[in-house]
Amino acid sequence: MYWRDETAPAWHRFWRHVQTELQDCPNLSAPETLPRNLTQHWLSGDLYLSQTCGLPFRTVLKHRVTYVGTFDFGLDGAMSGEYRSVAVTRADETREWRHLRLAYNAADSQSGWAAAHSTLGARGVDRLAGYLETGSHAASARAVRNGDADLAFLDEVTWRLLMLYDGRLDHLRIVARTPPTPGLPLISRRGIDPDPLRRALSNAIAQIPASDRIAMGGLRGLTVIPEDCYFTLPAPLPPPN
């Protein structure tokens, strides 16, 4: 989920460490080579390892895949394996949130839509001035920057990467952070033993240099979170038409 041209070499080096510990471990697939229907990919009978979002994990994938673990990116104020969203606007935006247009990456995104939905509800905002589905957090940030939207909720690890690699977004500012929730789960096909994967992933993280961990978003380790921590989060309503 945190793959981009600048981070791809570090992810490949990380995966080579994983392959040295596991027999028949396939090569790493770039996200652009995956099927457009990600649910079909996640439910594939030969899935070795993939990463999904917490929202589909607790809805369409619930009890249909094997949970392996969750990467820990060491976010301030969050427990190991947790993440959250940052709400960003343009630096000169002063209007109340109810008057803003929201850019969100996808309706099945925990960080881009579910977190926005719950945060807006907690602030007593039941509807915004407009909604724009963008397809990615980076595209949502650009939509706010360009004036096509006024507010976006971005996964904070993605925000780190945007700040590292997209200098043109410097004039966006954070106006809120959402409460932490379990991070993006790593999954495999139903019925496999996840322990060998957990050991290989943890060992690979320990072996890569600090520069690669920073390039990958601040990767620190692998955490195994009780699955109920994902399943107890409420599913949001869909975005208004």
Beta pairing, strands 130-133 & 185-189 = unpaired
CATH number at residue 36: 3.40.190
Answer whether residue 91 shows pLDDT above 80: yes
Averaged pLDDT for residues 78-95: 97
CATH number at residue 129: 3.40.190.10
Of 177, 193, 214, the residue at which a domain comes to its end is 177
Q: What is the pLDDT of residues 139-176, one digit of tens each?
A: 999 999 999 999 999 999 999 999 999 878 889 999 99
Do 158 and 92 belong together in one domain? yes
Instruction: Return the DSSP state at 111.
Output: I
Instruction: Return the DSSP state at 188.
Output: E
Rounded to the nearest angstrom, the gap between the alpha carbon of residue 188 and the centroid of all alpha carbons in its chain is 17
Averaged pLDDT for residues 46-61: 97
Instruction: Return the DSSP state at 75.
Output: -
Residue 105 pLDDT class (50, 70, 90 cuts): very high
Answer whether residue 241 shows pLDDT above 80: no
pLDDT value at residue 170: 82
Give residue 119's domain range: 85-177
In a domain, 236, yes or no: no
In a domain, 1, yes or no: no
Averaged pLDDT for residues 86-110: 97
Do 145 and 64 belong together in one domain? no
Do 62 and 110 belong together in one domain? no
Backbone angles phi, psi at 67, to 5 degrees: -80, 130
pLDDT value at residue 168: 82
Residue 26 pLDDT class (50, 70, 90 cuts): very high
* Structural domain total, the chain: 2
132: left (phi over 0), alpha (psi -120 to 50) or beta: beta
pLDDT value at residue 173: 96
pLDDT value at residue 227: 97
Q: Residue 41 belongs to what H/E stretch?
A: helix 38-42
Averaged pLDDT for residues 102-114: 97
Averaged pLDDT for residues 13-27: 96
168 vs 203, residue with greater confidence? 203
Do 37 and 60 belong together in one domain? yes
- Nearest 5°: the CA angle 163, 167, 173 is 60
Residue 11 pLDDT class (50, 70, 90 cuts): very high
Q: CA-CA distance, 114 to 105, in Å (whole number)?
A: 11
